[in-house]
Structure 1
Amino acid sequence: MKIVKSILLSFAGLLSFTSCTDWLDVNVDPNIPTAESATIETRLAHCEFYMNSAYQFAGMRSYMAMGDMTMNSRTSTYGGMSQWLPVNGINTTPYQWFLVGVGPNLQDLYDKAMMQGAYHYAGASRLIHAYGYMLMTDLYGEMPYTDGLGQNALPKYDTGKTIFLGCLTEIDEAIALFQKTQEPSTPSLAVGDSWNNGDVSKWLKMAYLLKARWINHLSKKGAGSYKDGKWDANEILACLSKAHASNSDNTIYQHTDANGPTHDVLGWDEPVDYCPLFSVLGMNANYFTTQMLINNFTNFAGNNVEDPRADKVIPWAYSQKGPNSPMGLKWSGNWRRSAGIDMNTLIRTQGAPYASSFSSSKAWYCDSKDPGRQGDTIYVNMISGSKGYLSNKDLLNRKLASDDRSATSGGFYV
């Protein structure tokens, strides 16, 4: 009898284990694609979004570190960067958005594309991989590359030469793949491509341009073949002859101001349809241009010639010029262009520039009892308007939404 009971109990135990296994299947969300179910076109769109974001976030940090922009805070993350004082993990976002948002998808995208004969998708995977690691090594130097996106939790570091030559090899492979004809049953590159809308000729030009740029970084390595890590002038010129000939060849990252419902999944929770630079620069009121930037735009190398881009990059504020208006500012009708913050002075040690306020009776003013700060209205911050995300009536920012006299322009790129 005991034997029969034991058999019955064992059988019941086996049933319970089977039931538990089935029950655990509820943790597989059918609404989230797996590595097996994700299509090449959805992977490419995902990679393009995060690669674009990583590049623009890196660009914004470069503005700060190179002295083009600063903040009126010395203790914040970016305020620290503008005085070469790294704080609060200042450089991690480009790293995260490429190595987490982009990198883990690229090999699967390449393998699936090659299996299907979708060579243009495979070429895009290789080029984005090279593009991303070119950015990473420019920012961080030596880092994991050959083992960087694999299964190893402690990947080995590679030398700069290994990364350089690896990226150039990947670009060469991408160029070869873009020149192949895809199998007729595969999705057109246009289905997943938001950068070039499936125009393979633009992808090729982009590949040749990135290759020329990358080889030119080797200018101090001596003349020779780029395959040996040398500066190869002939190859640079050959690549440039096949790269962009006009603006119509450009790769364009399309953005909208629709405040769409799809948001990123890496923690910022921002709409994926708007400009990443708007996220880190355009929606914030405490970024300012420096005097160095304005000098470079208005009197580069002492030539007393103004760059035509200056009026687009340097922000403006709506104002009325009067007899007591500061000298040295540029005016266009009732708009005045911002002055630049001189980083060679102690202005930022004094909590400056003080943020400008606006009232219908006072117009622009600084709400400070310090006489030295009341003139800080000459500095116009970089905040931009937004019709979708911020519900502004146009792309101008207004200190008082109901008063057009409180408008500022921001910068064209945000």
Structure 2
Amino acid sequence: MRTSKYIILGCLLAVGMTSCKKWLDVNTDPSSPNNASAAIQNRLPWIEHFYQYTSGVSNYRAAAQAGVFYSTNGTSGVQLSTTWTSHTGNTTSYQTWFVEVASNLNDLYNTAQKQNAYHYMAAADVFHALGFMQMLDLYGEMPYTQAISQNPSPAYDDGKTIYNGCMAKLNEAISLFNKPQDASVPSLASGDLWNAGSVDKWIKLCWGLKARYMLKLSKKSDLYNADSILYCLSKGPQSITDNTVGPGFNNSTVTDYLIGDPVVTNGNFDYAAYGSTQRLSKYYCDMLTNMRGSGVIDPRMTKIVPASMANVKLDAGGRVASYTWQRAIGVDVFGAAARLLKGGATSITSVTYATKNTPIAYKITNTTDRTNFINDQTTYGRTFTVSNDTVTVTYKAGSYYINSTNYILAGDTAYVNLRSSAIATSGIPAQGPSDVSWYQSAAAFNAGVVASTGSFQVRPVSDQEILTYHEMCFIKAEVYMRKGDAANAYAAYTAGIQAHMDMMQAKLTSWQAAGYTATNPDMAPMKASDISAYMTSAAVSQGDITMSDIMLQKYLAMGCSIENWNDMRRFNFSAGNIGSFGVVYPGINRGPLFAGTAAYTGTTLADPRYWPRRWSLPTTIELRYNLNNATALNAHVSDQNIWSMPVWWDCATDAEYSGYLK
């Protein structure tokens, strides 16, 4: 593993000259910097940004494993979301962490230490903990104690060593943040993109991360400590104003030197909504329309589930005169999965815009399928003709349709993808920064026909949630539930739901003020009355709370987050064998398109190796250049079923963990 220690410095200069945010306008060195001379207040915002990038890909791919997303991406997405097959598309999280973030941490810390800039030293510690804990979550074992050194072939450390090291860094960070800095030292505010220099918010972030990480130990009876977690929570975020988020912007066309994606946008957007291959799953969407089997529509649904324009009529000038919104349906992966079984795991197809009336002839030899297809065209009011077993449908100008003669694909317009537009990605210069809806083509934009309104968490201008009050509430609810204190668990559960609503409402209100709702109604605030009605509805437990109630609301709120996969591993997915909590994630299982028997060798729900437990190490980096060190610790790193091997915190004992490594 060779860390490119100085590569980010070129980005500091190149992007600083281009200017895409106030940090990039003013925080440039007066002379060419090197690793020792780069100003700490210049380095920190870029570390924050690039951490969002590595976190974004981890969040997206882990959420796909946890059933939030469906993807047709053949590099990794479909394997994670649908077929559960092993693959080699697992390098980006590792690469962006080590090349763009970790390689800068020692230099930030050491330079800050020479200046007694304690708050920058503390920030370096926080990113150390954030990134290496994420590497543990994903890969299990990793070069750690020798990782950011001059050693080109660093030794591997086990999960326990990484975990304890990260916790020690957070403890030091808390101590350093509590030290006053001299006025002559660069203030934290001069280089902090996340919290605008609020030391109080950074300290609460540290305590909140400690609570999150201590919760990972819930399987370990000798290490899990409920009261310690509650103590950390008492010092962590206490309201949504304490949230730590990475802001997303849409005001620059500058792209990343390593990957080529926009540098100012939300890191989750860069993976979940940059292209047209990602959609929400039916499993996730059902929670917004039928939580607890209630049939209640969640007020967050229209803010999270994207929509496209349908039934469009154009005026004489070719602009939209009338339309309806078609809300996306989720892709069924875990259930009957009828659509995917007919067409294949990657067959969901993206739309094309009809610039003129466009006839497509479908040859349908199956009588039942042909009858159903004709009925669908009648329902949607489309013009069609039938000749023997051929149905010809005319898609009117202004319509979105699937440009294929395969009738199985024709209904895929219902699976509205998550795509949003940034000025760096849309290819439509006239679209401008205040319209982040996706238009399939310049012609569609000129007509005003929206292909996707996008989704709350993954727009380019969305905040990337690093640590939030609603997560803290749900952690508190789980901890109290484990203690047998249902009353306090219930109070924390409802507080978590309300906190997520409040966070969304605050962001939606700011989007409305910024003018985004002129073209995208899904970016407008929810009705307060709808929120109140939901909180008293059957979708929310009104007192008889279960662990599943808590974790499903947390799952819904966290969405595009690695923490959903972490939680599922702690509860063994739908095995129902953790304590007396029963099945916590009902419906999560291998779907009909499962093809991963080589990677997931367990044969029953209770077998740990039935489930996705980690990722394989990057083949092109660690398994090619550092294999000897990797196998010295874990003899099975190259085995295909490494994907189902539990990481350290996912084991009840050190002996269990060691048994997997031998």
**Which residue does 2:57 correspond to in 1?**
57
**Which residue does 1:341 correspond to in 2?**
331
**Which residue does 2:565 correspond to in 1?**
none
What CA distance in whole angstroms lies between the structure 1 residues aligned with 2:178 and 2:306? 44
What CA distance in whole angstroms lies between the structure 2 residues aligned with 1:350 and 1:60? 18
**Which residue does 1:45 correspond to in 2?**
45
Q: 1:129 aligns to what SS in structure 2? A: helix
Once the 2 structures are TM-superposed, how far is the Cα of residue 279 of structure 1 from its aligned partner? 2.3
TM-score, structure 2 length as denominator? Answer: 0.52
What CA distance in whole angstroms lies between the structure 1 residues aligned with 2:227 and 2:446? 60
Judge which range, 380-389 or 231-240, deviates more: 380-389
Q: 1:95 aligns to what SS in structure 2? A: helix
Once the 2 structures are TM-superposed, how far is the Cα of residue 214 of structure 1 from its aligned partner? 0.5
Where do 1:94-173 residues align within 5 Å? Answer: 94-173=93-172
Where do 1:364-383 residues align within 5 Å? Answer: 364-383=400-419
Deviations 1:217-237 (CA, angstroms, capped at 9, x unpaired): 1111115xxxxxx11222211
What CA distance in whole angstroms lies between the structure 2 residues aligned with 1:357 and 1:44? 42
How has the CA–CA distance of structure 1 residues 121 and 351 changed in structure 2, closer, same or farther, with 3 Å as cutoff?
A: closer
Q: 1:319 aligns to what SS in structure 2? A: strand
Where do 1:206-355 residues align within 5 Å? Answer: 206-223=205-222, 230-261=223-254, 263-265=255-257, 267-320=258-311, 334-343=324-333, 344-345=336-337, 346-349=341-344, 352-355=347-350
What CA distance in whole angstroms lies between the structure 2 residues aligned with 1:377 and 1:36? 54
Once the 2 structures are TM-superposed, how far is the Cα of residue 405 of structure 1 from its aligned partner? 3.3
What CA distance in whole angstroms lies between the structure 2 residues aligned with 1:117 and 1:207? 20
Once the 2 structures are TM-superposed, how far is the Cα of residue 321 of structure 1 from its aligned partner? 9.6
Q: 1:138 aligns to what SS in structure 2? A: helix
Say if 1:72 and 1:348, in contact at 8 Å, map to a contact too: no
Once the 2 structures are TM-superposed, how far is the Cα of residue 242 of structure 1 from its aligned partner? 1.1
What CA distance in whole angstroms lies between the structure 2 residues aligned with 1:348 and 1:206? 46
Say if 2:351 and 2:401, in contact at 8 Å, map to a contact too: yes
**Which residue does 1:23 correspond to in 2?**
none
Task: Tell me the amino acid that sits aligned with residue 47 of structure 1.
Answer: I
Say if 2:144 and 2:156, in contact at 8 Å, map to a contact too: yes
Judge which range, 371-380 or 201-210, deviates more: 371-380
Say if 2:342 and 2:408, in contact at 8 Å, map to a contact too: no
Say if 1:116 and 1:183, in contact at 8 Å, map to a contact too: no
Q: 2:70 aligns to what SS in structure 1? A: strand
Task: Tell me the amino acid that sits aligned with residue 446 of structure 2.
Answer: S
Where do 1:186-197 residues align within 5 Å? Answer: 186-197=185-196
Once the 2 structures are TM-superposed, how far is the Cα of residue 370 of structure 1 from its aligned partner? 2.5
What CA distance in whole angstroms lies between the structure 2 residues aligned with 1:159 and 1:34? 33
Q: 1:317 aligns to what SS in structure 2? A: strand
How has the CA–CA distance of structure 1 residues 247 and 367 changed in structure 2, closer, same or farther, with 3 Å as cutoff?
A: same
What CA distance in whole angstroms lies between the structure 2 residues aligned with 1:164 and 1:113? 25
How has the CA–CA distance of structure 1 residues 117 and 348 changed in structure 2, closer, same or farther, with 3 Å as cutoff?
A: farther
How has the CA–CA distance of structure 1 residues 351 and 186 changed in structure 2, closer, same or farther, with 3 Å as cutoff?
A: closer
Q: 1:401 aligns to what SS in structure 2? A: helix
Q: 1:375 aligns to what SS in structure 2? A: helix
What CA distance in whole angstroms lies between the structure 1 residues aligned with 2:293 and 2:113? 55
What CA distance in whole angstroms lies between the structure 2 residues aligned with 1:294 and 1:200? 38
Deviations 1:87-146 (CA, angstroms, capped at 9, x unpaired): 3x3221111111111112112211221221111111111111011111110111121111
**Which residue does 2:353 correspond to in 1?**
358
**Which residue does 1:6 correspond to in 2?**
none
**Which residue does 1:71 correspond to in 2?**
71
What CA distance in whole angstroms lies between the structure 1 residues aligned with 2:122 and 2:69? 37
Say if 1:81 and 1:90, in contact at 8 Å, map to a contact too: no
Once the 2 structures are TM-superposed, how far is the Cα of residue 72 of structure 1 from its aligned partner? 3.5
Once the 2 structures are TM-superposed, how far is the Cα of residue 280 of structure 1 from its aligned partner? 2.1
What CA distance in whole angstroms lies between the structure 2 residues aligned with 1:398 and 1:35? 43
Once the 2 structures are TM-superposed, how far is the Cα of residue 351 of structure 1 from its aligned partner? 5.4
What CA distance in whole angstroms lies between the structure 2 residues aligned with 1:125 and 1:137? 18
Say if 1:264 and 1:270, in contact at 8 Å, map to a contact too: yes
Say if 1:222 and 1:231, in contact at 8 Å, map to a contact too: yes
Judge which range, 270-279 or 139-148, deviates more: 270-279
Task: Tell me the amino acid that sits aligned with residue 234 of structure 2.
Answer: S
Judge which range, 311-320 or 367-376, deviates more: 367-376
**Which residue does 2:33 correspond to in 1?**
33
* Larger-gyration structure (1/2): 1
Say if 2:211 and 2:230, in contact at 8 Å, map to a contact too: yes
Structure 2 gaps, min length 5: 1-12, 14-29, 314-322, 358-395, 460-662
Structure 1 gaps, min length 5: 1-28, 224-229, 323-332
What CA distance in whole angstroms lies between the structure 1 residues aligned with 2:456 and 2:34? 39
Q: CA RMSD in A?
A: 2.3
2:455 pairs with 1:411: yes
**Which residue does 1:16 correspond to in 2?**
none
Task: Tell me the amino acid that sits aligned with residue 147 of structure 1.
Answer: Q
How has the CA–CA distance of structure 1 residues 116 and 257 changed in structure 2, closer, same or farther, with 3 Å as cutoff?
A: same
Deviations 1:278-316 (CA, angstroms, capped at 9, x unpaired): 322323122222211212322234233333322222110
Q: Work out which of the residue numbers 427, 430, 438 in structure 2 matches 1:397.
A: 438
Say if 2:109 and 2:121, in contact at 8 Å, map to a contact too: yes
Task: Tell me the amino acid that sits aligned with residue 178 of structure 1.
Answer: F
Task: Tell me the amino acid that sits aligned with residue 108 of structure 2.
Answer: L
What CA distance in whole angstroms lies between the structure 2 residues aligned with 1:130 and 1:42? 21
Task: Tell me the amino acid that sits aligned with residue 338 of structure 1.
Answer: A
What CA distance in whole angstroms lies between the structure 2 residues aligned with 1:180 and 1:275? 32
Once the 2 structures are TM-superposed, how far is the Cα of residue 388 of structure 1 from its aligned partner? 5.7
Task: Tell me the amino acid that sits aligned with residue 89 of structure 2.
Answer: I
Once the 2 structures are TM-superposed, how far is the Cα of residue 212 of structure 1 from its aligned partner? 0.6
Once the 2 structures are TM-superposed, how far is the Cα of residue 161 of structure 1 from its aligned partner? 1.3
Deviations 1:239-295 (CA, angstroms, capped at 9, x unpaired): 11111111111112122101254x433x22333212223322323122222211212
What CA distance in whole angstroms lies between the structure 2 residues aligned with 1:203 and 1:347? 51
Deviations 1:186-238 (CA, angstroms, capped at 9, x unpaired): 10011111111111001001000000111111111115xxxxxx112222111
**Which residue does 1:85 correspond to in 2?**
85
Deviations 1:341-373 (CA, angstroms, capped at 9, x unpaired): 112421451752232223254223223223332
Deviations 1:15-44 (CA, angstroms, capped at 9, x unpaired): xxxxxxxxxxxxxx9964212211211221
Deviations 1:360-399 (CA, angstroms, capped at 9, x unpaired): 5422322322333222221111111335643325122223
